[in-house]
Amino acid sequence: MSYLEIIDGEGKMRRIKVIPVITVFLVALLTFLAVIGAYAWKDIGITETNAPQLGGKSKLIAKGILPSINQLPTGAGSGVDIDSNGNLFFLHRSGYGFNNNTLIEKDVVTVYSADAHETMSSWGAHYFKSPHGLTIDENDQVWITDIMLNKVYQFDAKGNLLRTFGQHYPFYMEACLKVRNLLKNLPCGQNKYTFARPTDVEVYPDGSFVVADGFRNSRIVKFDGEGNFQWEISKLGKMHGEFYLPHGLAKDRQGNIYVADRRNARIQAFNKQGQWIKTWSFPELGRPYGLDIGKDNFLYVVDAGDAYEFENGVERSQVLKLTLDGKIVDRYSGFGQSLGKIDLPHDIAVNDHGRVYIAEVKNNRVQFFEQQSH
């Protein structure tokens, strides 16, 4: 009898009894998959459609950067949303890395006032390892996903924890789900309540909510207001109704869910029952990371380029504004660090007056833009 050593989700080494032949097989298999895994999905193409080519100048005008001098420092900008009073909630990693595996001891949520953008409060210390997505519901409750703890958290606006969703993540599942990105039908033992690196949440007025269970499960899943399972769309692939890293969510007035299907470089939409409606996939769209639907009923999208997807991938940072039938009406781009330049936009939010806020990972900030009316 021999042992296979595996590092669990807490960074601890575990030893599993296996027979020698299986040990050799598993090591060889995982080594092989690790080598080819980065290349397995390079053939995912963008389905070209007759998306319009835009001319002229964008209507977005950069107006400011948060945090400004003398405000609370932050880390990688991960999520952003706006409450019913227009206050801005900014989710960041407070200087910790994406794969951080210890509880962050600093606040990860900074709240700015609606117009003056003064720091009102900060909270969130000692809850998270790698906070990823932030959403504010109609009751001004704050929902946050954590991709290392594999949980969804619900807070009140002051940062008091109300509920936590997501079952315990078995120590072996991370490795199994990595392999499943190649072997689609490989059983990994998770159930419908187990998240595997969830990326975002969208909440309905009745309290039901949809989770983008993105990096490992490649699914979206809906629960009722009590957290009971309702439906899921869970299939890895590039056909309609399949995903390869559902990363950001937005909801329209009819309750349809729009999904930034990041590694498939497209946006898909589904109704409240989880039925597929449409897919947008064209070169001008780029690679969507985050979405929001404004009061003006336009869909706003941030495209963070291909650098995080492929070796030697293209660095690209752009913001798009689309009608809900997929027509691009405005596009803004500019890569860099100064005002008006963007570096790895991760999330986007639009207030009732059309002001656009963008959370940037590499620039550790939120940048905001006004829209010219003509």
More confident residue, 309 or 43: 309
Contact 281, 46 (CB under 8 A): yes
Enclosing domain of residue 323: 56-164+242-371
Amino acid 10: pLDDT: 35
- In terms of Cα–Cα distance, which of 164, 215, 165 is closest to 192? 165
Contact 333, 316 (CB under 8 A): yes
In this prediction, residues 329-344 reach a mean pLDDT of 95
CA distance 155 to 4: 40
CA distance 109 to 142: 10
CA distance 13 to 36: 25
- In terms of Cα–Cα distance, which of 206, 81, 98 is closest to 143? 81
- Rounded to whole angstroms, what are the CA distances from 200 to 214, 227, 303? 8, 16, 16
- Same domain for 7 and 128? no
DSSP structure class, residue 67: S
| Helix 173-180 and helix 20-37, axial crossing angle in degrees, nearest 10 | 60
pLDDT per position as a tens digit, 136-194: 999 999 999 999 999 999 999 999 999 999 988 777 877 888 787 777 778 888 899 99
Amino acid 364: pLDDT: 96
Categorize the per-residue pLDDT at 6 as very low, low, confident or very high, splitting at 50, 70 and 90.
Answer: very low
> What percent of the chain has pLDDT above 90?
71
Categorize the per-residue pLDDT at 270 as very low, low, confident or very high, splitting at 50, 70 and 90.
Answer: very high
CA distance 50 to 269: 19
SS3 289: strand
Contact 210, 220 (CB under 8 A): yes
- Does 329 fall in a domain? yes
Q: What is the CATH number of the domain that holds 362?
A: 2.120.10.30
pLDDT over 70 at 12, yes or no: no
Which single residue is written with the structure tokens 């349809």?
256
CA distance 318 to 243: 22
- Same domain for 22 and 113? no
Which single residue is written with the structure tokens 């991760």?
346
Tally of CB atoms within 10 A around 318: 21
- In terms of Cα–Cα distance, which of 347, 332, 344, 361 is closest to 63? 332
- Same domain for 119 and 255? yes
Q: Is 106 exposed, middle or buried (CB count within 10 Å of its CB: 0-12, 13-18, 19+)? A: middle
- Same domain for 74 and 116? yes
Amino acid 8: pLDDT: 37
Which single residue is written with the structure tokens 């703890």?
149
- Same domain for 3 and 77? no
pLDDT per position as a tens digit, 206-239: 999 999 999 988 999 999 999 999 999 999 999 9
Contact 294, 350 (CB under 8 A): yes
Q: How many domains does the chain have?
A: 2
pLDDT per position as a tens digit, 319-332: 999 999 999 999 99
Amino acid 106: pLDDT: 96
- AA identity, residue 151: K
- In terms of Cα–Cα distance, which of 140, 87, 148, 15 is closest to 355? 87
pLDDT over 70 at 263, yes or no: yes
Q: Is 60 exposed, middle or buried (CB count within 10 Å of its CB: 0-12, 13-18, 19+)? A: buried
- Same domain for 33 and 63? no
- Same domain for 267 and 343? yes
- Same domain for 31 and 152? no
Categorize the per-residue pLDDT at 310 as very low, low, confident or very high, splitting at 50, 70 and 90.
Answer: confident
CA distance 263 to 180: 16
- AA identity, residue 159: G
Q: In this structure, what token pair is assigned to residue 68?
A: 């400004």
- Same domain for 13 and 150? no
- Same domain for 155 and 124? yes
- In terms of Cα–Cα distance, which of 343, 267, 291, 269 is closest to 77? 343
Amino acid 55: pLDDT: 55
More confident residue, 173 or 352: 352
- In terms of Cα–Cα distance, which of 253, 13, 130, 17 is closest to 4? 17
Amino acid 164: pLDDT: 98
In this prediction, residues 296-309 reach a mean pLDDT of 94
CA distance 282 to 51: 7
- Same domain for 280 and 357? yes
- Same domain for 29 and 100? no
Q: Which residues pair with 267 in a beta bridge?
A: 260, 280
pLDDT over 90 at 7, yes or no: no
